[in-house]
Amino acid sequence: MLSDQAYLPMNNNPQEEIDLVSLLARFVKLLRRNAALILICVGITLGLSLWIGLTRHKVYESRMMIYSSILTESYCDQLARNLQSLIRDRNLKLIGERLGLSQDQAALLRDVEIEGGLEGTVDEADKLFLVVTVRVFSNTILPDLQDGIVRYIGQNDFAKVRTEEKRRFYNELIAKVDEEIQKLEGVKQKISDGAYRSSNGVVMMNPSDPYTQTVALFRDKLAYEELLRLVNSVQVVEGFSALNRHVSPKLSLLLPAGLLAGLILAFLILGLRYVISLSRQDE
C-alpha cells in the first residue's frame, strides 16, 4: 500500500526560484548601470526613424475598376508585371512611351498591380471586372496615368484583333437574326392572308408560333446589340481618385521599429563589450 506522501504534490525547487530572482535582479542592475547607453541607442534609432518618415517621398495609392470582355485577368496581370519590371529598372523613357507620359511623370510612378474584381472561385472567362492599383509619389499624374493605362491595355495589337473579331461576330449574328425576323414577318402575313388554310378551312400550323419566335429573336437581337456596344477592349467603370492620406512611410510602423532597433543595438554593444573584457582577462 502506498503511503500518503505519494499523493502529496511536488514542491518547486527553492533553489531554482532563487536563481530566477537573482538573474532578474542582475538583469535590472545591468539595465540601470547601462541606462545611458540604452537611451542613447534608442534615441539615435528613433531619431533616424523620424527623419526617414519626414524626409522620405510620400507614396499615395489609388484604384481604378475597368471592364473587359476581351482581355483576361492573367493577360492584364502579365502586362502589369512588364510595367513593374520597367519601373524597377528605372527605364523612364520606355515607361513614358508605353503610357503616354513624360519622363518626369514616369519617375513619379512606383508600382502597378492588376487583379480580378470578383472574389472567390471564378472562371477565367467570367473575370470581366479588373482592379488596377497604382502607387505614385504624386497624385497629379493620376488623370494622365489613367488614360495611359487604359490605352496600354486596350490598344495593343492583340486586343485590337480580338476586339475587331468580336465586333464582326456580333454584327453578322445581328444581321442573321434580322433576316430570320423578316422571314417570320412574311410567314405572319401569309397566315393573315389565309395561305396556310386547307380546303376545309383548317389552319395547317399553329398561328402563335411565328409570333412567339419573332419575340424570342427580337429579344436575342437586343442582347447581341448590347454586347456589341460593350465589345470595346477596356472600359473604365470607376477611375483613379486622388487621396490625401499617404500609405508610406508610416510613423506608426517606423517608430516601434526604431525603438526595437535601438534596444537591439544597445544589447549588441553590451555583448561586444563583455566579449572584449573576457578576452582581456584571458590575456
Please identify, among 155, 178, 203, the residue that sits at the C-terminal boundary of a domain.
155
Rounded Cα–Cα distance for residues 62 and 230 (Å)? 25
Three-state DSSP state, 101: coil
The residue type found at 16 is: E
Over residues 150-178, mean pLDDT: 83
Look at 248 and 132; give whichever has higher pLDDT: 132
pLDDT at 8 over 70: no
**146 and 168 share one domain:** no
Radius of gyration of the chain (CA): 37
Q: Indicate if 27 and 96 belong to the same structural domain.
A: no
| pLDDT value for 122 | 47
Q: Which of these ranges, 62-71, 124-133, 178-187, has the smallest mean pLDDT?
A: 124-133
Residue 7 lies in a domain: no
Residues 75 and 151 in one domain: yes
β strands within the chain, DSSP E? 60-67, 109-116, 129-136, 235-238
Query: Which of residues 145 and 230 earns the better pLDDT score?
Result: 145
Q: Is the pLDDT of residue 114 over 60?
A: yes
Q: Residue 27: inside a domain, yes or no?
A: yes
Looking at 96, 125, 155, the residue that finishes a domain is 155
CB contact set of 37 (below 8 Å; sequence gap of 6+): 266, 269, 270
Average pLDDT over residues 249-263: 84
Claim to verify: residue 259 and residue 191 sit in the same structural domain: no
- Both 83 and 151 in one domain: the answer is yes
Question: Is residue 263 one of the residues assigned to a domain?
Answer: yes
**Residues 150 and 165 occupy one common structural domain:** no
Could you tell me the CA-to-CA distances from 244 to 18, 106, 107, 239 in Å, in that order? 57, 20, 20, 16
pLDDT reported for residue 127: 56
146/218 same-domain check: no
Is residue 202 predicted with pLDDT exceeding 70? no
Domain extent at residue 47 = 16-55+250-274
> Does 128 have pLDDT greater than 80?
no
Domain membership of residue 239 (yes or no) is no
Mean pLDDT of 188-204: 61
Task: Indicate the number of domains in the chain.
Answer: 3
User: Is pLDDT larger for residue 163 or for residue 36?
Assistant: 36
Per cent of the chain over pLDDT 70 is 82
Amino acid letter for position 159 = A
Whole-number Å distance between alpha carbons of 186 and 45: 88
Looking at the structure, tell me whether residues 33 and 49 fall in a common domain.
Answer: yes
> How does residue 17 score in pLDDT terms, banded at 50, 70 and 90?
low
pLDDT (0 to 100) of residue 80? 87
Do residues 60 and 136 make contact, with C-beta atoms less than 8 angstroms apart? yes
Q: In what helix (H) or strand (E) does residue 81 lie, and over which residues does it extend?
A: helix 73-88
